[in-house]
Structure 1
């Protein structure tokens, strides 16, 4: 009797397939078997690329003469500590009674690679039918759909080609560049550090680029010189209430475009600010005239849904946890059927999913922090138009749609730790918010004139909280004992900026003076108001911020640019450094080899002395490895391969040419002594 074989990436996933298929299976060592089907699993990677010494024993010794190393055919081998499971899987794949194979590894490039390597090493004949199961969550319904709609494995050959190429790229760059740089500069690094062994210099396509981003930012901060500036602020009196205005040297001002200004709202020296106050205080009492007052409504839409990078950034801010920990937590939520597939770059839903979204909402009525909102959404039917909104776009989805709650899996909820529960709540609230209207603000802008100089006051009042009522997390102590219906004052530098910041950002719980707002609303152009006083506020320019683990993930996603605006981030999507599945791992590796340091409490990332030295070595030898745009272009090239726009041979030709040119170029350099001065300059910043 012929049987189908289901092969997953992990034992826990295999159990979910077994449950969904409702198989009465007998447990064996490394697999489970029923009358009609067998379920087995990998344990992550079972096969890996061989080291150079497997090609030729002489290559075990690192020498310049053996570089560049560019094999005609790549060798692979079974990973020793998982060889037992590999042999079990190999035997099952080649069993005569197995005529159909369902590939159920994770639905992405890495999952594809894991199975293809096993298939290659196991020598599975092409005569067997092979189908690819592609799912977005581990719910029973989704697993059965994935099996039912499984396509031929060959439909994913382009994705497989991209996966193989990514591994070959990391392998060739890692081995050639790490060896040539170690041979050329390792002794110089060791001598400076007074180490007996020659330092092994570890570089890679993505990790070295990330190191460069951190080092450059640190050097910008060191080189930064604070510049003081002086603002002049007026205090206006209105029926016993006060509000501020800020001087700006706009056209018509005596100070417009003069060298006395640092910017239009600040002077370079205090003496100029004092002079302005003196000029405006000649006539007492000081009066101001309302030159203009503008009132307008402003809508703020709910943000796009979470992809992994956005979630990692949010969790870094909210919980001070690393991207790696966020991924582990979200993977756990996925495996417990609570959320959809985490390793996604998309921030939108597919049309197909949007048509069934009521099921997710219905399930969320079983979750205490969502039940009222989910019920409200279902009752008013706001989910029905979601397919026509910006939150649904098939063109912005490659492998998977955004991370959303499934509305299932609550049986496992109590077993979660607090971090996992909080991450889940964060995902749920972001999801629910897209079914609510925008938050509506009223903005009031006032221009007041004292003599010939103009002062500017701005107010922002929340009129309708819209989606913001969903975003207040239960674990955020700032939301406790606050009347959610009352407008609140923001933590803006301008105390007149009155708003509810929302989106889990910092906010003050100071109540707005509604009497003042009503007085301001009644102001008219040409009205005269009292000036209670004029004061100088001293400020100074701020250095660039260091990356934290979350902002670094976002910067990697956006080719080295830390883009705060989500609309701009959407435009540059697909040009990132690394992938959603690998970015956290890269940061981990850089910390493990002590090139970077991560403060666990603050999640701030800084370079180490060794990391800065390696940066200088690369900068003097293979500078292009530090270029985020170039690094992102390699990732883009892999996307082109997976989409079938270029062939694997075209990509490989470009890759080998690059590796060869860079390696030979380093071999011909003789600049070791030049680096000594740079090392000494670095060391001065690390003296205790």
Structure 2
């Protein structure tokens, strides 16, 4: 009798498929078998690309003479540690009684690649098998059954598979060629400078670009010169309380466009600020006349749902956990049926999911931390109109919709670590927020005139919390003004005279750029090197970024493991190491385009075009080969050794052998006694 073969990515997922299918299976070595079905699993990747020496023994030794390495046909091999499972899966794929193969690996580019490599290496005769792709958004029983029922022919995912193969070839060719090239040309320059035996310069399409972002930011901070400025501030005694106004040199001011100003609200010199105070205080008592008062309401809508990058950023900010830890945590929640597929770029729901969203809400009613809110949403019926909001948009979804709670699997929460519970609650609260109204603020903008100069005051008070009560967002200090003052301000109108208690100078200074933390770096990678704080703007400009939602955390992890950047686990702040800065300088003077976020993002965009069928794999491969060949030739024909000593010296003065100096400065010179593995900036 013909049987169907289901291939999952992990043993635990295979078990979930067996439960959902409700088939009686017996446990075999590496698979489960029933009367009509066989269920097996990979253990992540079973097959990988072969090292260059598999093509020719001459490539085993690193040599400039063998570069660029650009094979016409790529070779693959079974990963040694998982040979046994590969043989089991390969045998099942080729069993004569298996007529239909259901591909149940993770629903994404990487999951597609895992299966296609196995099928290729196993030599499956495609014409003798039906091949179906199961594409699911969660591991709940109903979603698994839906995915099996609606499984499409595997050929419909050929473009996605093409993109997956190309991504791997791209990383392989750039990594092997450029790492060997720069190591052979300039590795000794780094080793000689640091007094070490040898240095391998590890280069990657995405990894090197991210290293560049961290190093550039560190150098911006070092080169930043603080500029002091002096603000003139008025204090008003009014309504039983007090508030401040800030001088600004707007049109009509005698200081408008004056060279004495740093900005319209600050003087370069303290004496000029004092001069203004003396002039305004010449007539006593000092009084301010209300020039204008504007009262308005402002709505703040619930944020969009989480994709992986946004979740990683929030977990870094709130819980100080790395993107890699966040991904591991949310992947576990997914495998426990608690949330939907985590490796997603979308922040909205599909129309189909919106129609069934009440099921998720009903399940959440049993969740102690926020069940009351789910019940409130169901009773109010606000979920019924969610499809007409900005939180549902089929056009903004490619592979998967946003990360949301399934409403199932709550029993598993008690057995998970506390960190997993915190991340789950964060996802739940963000999800429930979209069913609540906007938070409403009352804003008051007041302009007063003292001696012909204008002073500006503004107040923002939360009037109706709306979704904030669900999201658990704390009020800012500026949203918590005295109610008596607020009431008194209601009677202020144009011409109202306000007594001035005092005029004073408040000194400030410009701030350097912030270092990236692990979360803000993920957002910057998602937006092609731009760290955009404003969520709405971030969503508007989002396109193909650096890396993908599935790989960004791994890139950071690799940079940290290579000791190119350092991660402060308490703050999640990222800084370069001396070794990382030296490698940056080598790349910056030899293959500078590898440090360009826009160019790196364009490669990712090209893979998207392949996945969509807009360009062919051959077109992409031609461009890739030309890029590797031309950059290799440029490096082979150049020599930058004479430049490196000075740039190494410039970076080294910020490091010592232990990684820190008391002053943050150190005499320039060779780092013969240094250990780059631990060197981090002050």
Structure-to-structure mapping, 1:607-622, within 5 angstroms? 607-622=576-591
Structure-to-structure mapping, 1:531-610, within 5 angstroms? 531-610=500-579
Structure-to-structure mapping, 1:216-365, within 5 angstroms? 216-365=216-365
TM-score, scaled relative to structure 2: 0.95
Per-residue deviation, 1:573:
2.1
Gaps in structure 2 of 5+ consecutive residues: 662-682
Matched with 2:182 is 181
Q: Encode CA deviations 1:220-260: one digit per residue, 9 max, x unaligned.
A: 00000000000111001114321110111111111111001
Gaps in structure 1 of 5+ consecutive residues: 474-478, 480-487, 492-496, 500-510
Structure-to-structure mapping, 1:100-249, within 5 angstroms? 100-126=100-126, 127-197=128-198, 199-249=199-249
For 2:502 and 2:150, locate their aligned partners in 1 and report how far apart those are by CA, in whole Å.
73
Per-residue deviation, 1:589:
0.2
Matched with 1:650 is 619
For the residue of structure 2 that corresponds to 1:669, the secondary structure is coil
Q: Encode CA deviations 1:522-549: one digit per residue, 9 max, x unaligned.
A: 1010011100000110000000000000
For 1:41 and 1:334, locate their aligned partners in 2 and report how far apart those are by CA, in whole Å.
17
For 2:34 and 2:108, locate their aligned partners in 1 and report how far apart those are by CA, in whole Å.
28
Matched with 1:428 is 428
Query: Is residue 405 from structure 1 mapped to residue 433 from structure 2 by the alignment?
Result: no
Q: Encode CA deviations 1:20-62: one digit per residue, 9 max, x unaligned.
A: 0011100011001001000000000000000000000011011
Q: Encode CA deviations 1:142-192: one digit per residue, 9 max, x unaligned.
A: 000000000000000000000000000000000000011011101111100
TM-score, scaled relative to structure 1: 0.95
Query: Is residue 528 from structure 1 mapped to residue 497 from structure 2 by the alignment?
Result: yes
Matched with 2:604 is 635
Matched with 1:79 is 79
Name whichever of 234-243 and 462-471 sits farther off.
Answer: 234-243
Matched with 1:483 is none
For the residue of structure 2 that corresponds to 1:366, the secondary structure is coil
Matched with 2:675 is none
For 2:154 and 2:623, locate their aligned partners in 1 and report how far apart those are by CA, in whole Å.
27
For 1:239 and 1:347, locate their aligned partners in 2 and report how far apart those are by CA, in whole Å.
45
Q: Encode CA deviations 1:421-448: one digit per residue, 9 max, x unaligned.
A: 0000000000000001101111100000
Which residue of 485, 490, 514 maps to 1:516?
A: 485
CA contact (8 A) 2:240 2:485 kept: no
Runs of 4+ in 1 over 3 A off after TM superposition: none
For the residue of structure 1 that corresponds to 2:401, the secondary structure is coil
For 1:568 and 1:521, locate their aligned partners in 2 and report how far apart those are by CA, in whole Å.
34
CA contact (8 A) 2:240 2:484 kept: no
For 2:197 and 2:257, locate their aligned partners in 1 and report how far apart those are by CA, in whole Å.
61
**Alignment size in residue pairs:** 656
Q: Encode CA deviations 1:107-145: one digit per residue, 9 max, x unaligned.
A: 000000000000000011112000000000000000000
CA contact (8 A) 2:112 2:164 kept: yes
Per-residue deviation, 1:512:
3.1
CA contact (8 A) 2:239 2:484 kept: no
For 1:603 and 1:24, locate their aligned partners in 2 and report how far apart those are by CA, in whole Å.
48
For the residue of structure 2 that corresponds to 1:553, the secondary structure is helix
Provide the alpha-carbon RMSD of the alignment: 0.8
CA contact (8 A) 2:363 2:406 kept: yes
Structure-to-structure mapping, 1:455-494, within 5 angstroms? 455-472=455-472, 490-491=476-477
For 1:595 and 1:254, locate their aligned partners in 2 and report how far apart those are by CA, in whole Å.
53
For 1:512 and 1:531, locate their aligned partners in 2 and report how far apart those are by CA, in whole Å.
19
For 2:289 and 2:423, locate their aligned partners in 1 and report how far apart those are by CA, in whole Å.
52
For 2:23 and 2:543, locate their aligned partners in 1 and report how far apart those are by CA, in whole Å.
41
Per-residue deviation, 1:568:
1.9
For the residue of structure 2 that corresponds to 1:407, the secondary structure is coil
For the residue of structure 2 that corresponds to 1:662, the secondary structure is helix
